[in-house]
Structure 1
Amino acid sequence: MRKRSIKNTRVNTEVQRAVGSIIRGGIKDPRVAPWTSVVAAEVAPDLKTCKIYISVLGDQEAQTETMKGLKSAEGYIRKELAAQLNLRNTPELTFVLDQSIEYGVNMSRKIDEITEKERLARREIEEEADEE
């Protein structure tokens, strides 16, 4: 199976969906933050390994604790994944912290702050022009 084939894309999507539902509903570890989401999954063409990109909304401590909790639950997640998906091989899972959602939220917040400052500056200029 080639890396960019349609079959590989489908497998990636199904693994992402299944791991997301397992994390939301199956893991009882208190270290795993409630705002944990699966951003992407990359299954190797030979179905032996899989990188799961995880995004955690929270501070640095919540992110590290969530990654520790997911690492300890790796066997359980793999077993549940094998039960949900009919694959020839169940891939070894590797969790990677993806901070793109957090980065996007921070950028959006900064844009909102700049927009608010510009709006206030315009209002002050208009008020000064009205006074003259």
Structure 2
Amino acid sequence: MLREFKEFIQRGNVMDLAVGVIIGGAFTNIVNSLVKNLINPLLGLFIGRIDLSNLAIKVGGATFKYGAFINAIINFLIIAFIVFLLVKAINKLSNKKAPEAKPAPPTAEDYLKEIRDLLEKQGK
């Protein structure tokens, strides 16, 4: 069982996934900082509030923090756009046109067909 686990961990896909999760976590922190420190103040200039996360509506005893939801939407849109750009760039690199395959050299059958056609033309 230990050997199977070792083989599982050493697969390339598992290591790629681990690296992706770690980088994704770090990237999320960067995007959160971007939204909190740059985008929210910019939006705050237009709506009159700097911190969108404090926007809330109280209904009865419940508080609905729609500002935090707006922050989450902004974070998602930024991350989705960056991932779109990355996938587009990777696809562009991996979809380079493969060199066109050279046509196969004529076979003996092709030569025989040509000879037959020439003989038919001469016989007419």
TM-score by length of 2: 0.29
Of structures 1 and 2, the larger Rg is shown by 2
Q: Higher strand share goes to which structure?
A: 1
Q: Higher helix share goes to which structure?
A: 2
Per chain length, whose mean CA-contact separation is higher, i.e. which structure has more relative contact order (CA < 8 Å, sep 6+)?
A: 1
TM-score by length of 1: 0.28
